[in-house]
Structure 1
Amino acid sequence: MDIKYGTQDESIIDFIKQAIEERNAILHEINRKIHENPELGYEEFKAHDNVASLLENLDYKVTRHAYGIQTALMAEFGFGGRVIAFNAEYDALPDIGHACGHNLIATMSIGAFIALAETLKKYKIQGRVRLLGTPAEEGGGGKLKLIEAGAYSDVDACMMIHPGPEDGCAGYTGDAYMPTLANKKFTVRFTGKAAHASMSPWQGVNALDAVVLGYNGVSALRQQILPAQRIHGVISEGGKRPNIITAHTSLDYYVRSTSLKSADALMERVVACFEGAAIQTGCKVETELINTYADVRPNKPISTLYADAMNKIGSPVRCDVNSPPVPGSTDQGNVSYECPAFQGYVGIPADPGSYNHTAGFTAAAGAEIAHKLCLEPAKGMAVAGWQILSDESVATQVWKDFEEDSKVRDLDEDIRVSVKGGGCC
């Protein structure tokens, strides 16, 4: 990328680093509070209040319960100019707590917000920095609601960093360019007719048979999908008693692909398997879409700015703008369709096999070393944000990339047939 770095001088970097390091104690405290009080999506009341109180105690204006969402918040500093947003996730997973490290995501975004706000105070340029507390990333689609409410309508760049195991980083501390898969979540329900399974089975219409046939049909379909695509589901309702022909069954499914368009096409094939099962058994079938997470389409200039900042800070990250997608999904993808955005990666020490969404990673995300390592991406995001606010030519390149990417979003992206493995490389 041909990006001018005229405003990324050493004095700015030093000021941002100092701004974060001086607030290490309060950042560590909010990290600890979120990690020790795991809350599920849309129930993050403690996290919401603790983050809001931290910022209010620093004299930032905070909107609690922002955009009509009880556990969302918004803080903003500055005037006029362009807008940089940092997303702070803080929801946890059932039973295993912060096994995706959202406590660290929140800490990094809070740190970046404070550092960039302090830089705006010092240098008195036009521009605004916004922190968004975004609930329910783990399936609940909190950012989808924020998008609908207009939270990103005036944003020039939105940033966040996701933690994961440092295995495979190969000399880097993380990754600056990480596309993800689009994910369509839906429920399938079959309706049959109950009957006594021994005395009069011919009177029944077996919804359990429909579930089994549909499940097996999708399993066979997996042989004919692209390497980057993913289909996975569970039977959420399979019947009550062996001696009753089952009248009602259901499944929950995720369908992932490299773009929204290809995910739509793959979902049609999956739904056809269930429709075929309904025909075979005589059941009725209905499909309910829960929500759709778009693929993260990282903005190349933002990713490059962040990578360059991290290199100057002394915490180099990988940045390959031809990188294939990681096989995960996030509602940050929907944000990347609304405004220039990226979601980077930071590696933290974790025991072998302790990947995201495991109890082992919950422990890793709460370790002091993880907090220390995550201060560096906070600095990198703040430096990149400063460049976009202070340099018109950089901001122009950011929007040019976003607009060019928007032109190809409706094209079939399935040529990206490989996926990136675990770790940040």
Structure 2
Amino acid sequence: MNNLTSTIISEFNNNHFKEIYALADSSFKANVAESDILSLLNSAATLGKIKKYELAIAEDGNHTYRLYFDNKSLFLDISLAFDSTSFSRFGLRPYKLPPVLGRTDFLHENPIKTNLDSTIQKAAKDYMENKNVAGLSIGVFTNNEMYIYNFGETQKGNGTLPTENTIYEIGSVTKVFTGILLANAVVEGKVKLDDDIRKYLPGIYPNLEYQGRPVTLVQLSNHTSGLPFTVKLPDTKEDAFSPFVNFNDDMLFKILNSVKLDTVPGVQKNYSNLGTAILGQILAKIYGQSYEQLLTTYILKPYGMKQTKIILSKKEKRKMSTGYDMEGKETKYWYNKLAESAGGIHSTVSDMLLFVKKQMSDVDNATNFSHQPTFGDKQEGVGLNWDIYTTKKGYLRLAHDGGTDGF
């Protein structure tokens, strides 16, 4: 273990993030802004203190360490500079356990009669080879037809194949629903995209601007607000998105007062769970309804999505697939009120196909509006929470992925 790494770990655990940046060599500092590293470290700090760390890979001055937090791990990638007392490369990324391969047989009902069947079967086989996963549902919408494929089990060892009605956590795919709700508020004339968010928040927040430029609604949706990825509660230092947090309006006030912007809003994209979470809170206040009520009124009922919910009943929880983390350990049902609009939706493959169909055909004004670039352009940009990209063959792609601890 080199002294530089030990110093970085110590400084991190003492929240001395500027001191970590100071350990970079001149070439690193010339290419990477201090604010970028501080943002990265602040996001990692929401996981708590580093409990222990171990060297995973060492090659020619390049080192990768596994950092252990309370419930998660991260990879730290660093390259030592010539003098070995500074670094020329620094990065943090999610820890991914190598898949435990070996499963060759798993439940499915795929008839494997068409090219689509064969393509799906190959993709599912590659995924299901990992013994740490339990099951998989795949939905395809093409030529105005829906196809559903299910594989594995709803819980390891129970012998029950998932169905079109099995419920999953969809994580950050929730954000595109929030983008459509914002688009609807614009279409209805309740807000403008470039409205200062403080117009809709109780209290005074001089910190929610930088060099006279305020954070706006659209910036919460396209991730250019300058807000951090996530945040700790000022009082308890607990992750605000933890399922153990009983969120309330007073917490929102304290969180918003604790935020410090270090860049002009609207200039740079930095993915922010906090931004979309605040957007959901604002939309709920504007309409005088809960976020789930807005979802139901403007998306779920019009789309016919009868099995999609934020909060599940006991009966609905019994229809949920069991989640497993990357090490194959079972995870628990997850809920956090602040995170509802950023990653709180539960849904089924059949309902999500209805959602996809609506995006591709019979598009209403709000849905179409959410697909338009608000940062960048159609070659590569962001709509209202939609990632936008034009392929080399000229196809327009709208996308968003998502995941939780178990899904």
With normalisation by structure 2, the TM-score equals 0.22
Name the one with the larger helix percent.
1
TM-score (norm 1): 0.21
Higher relative contact order (CA 8 A, sep 6+): 1
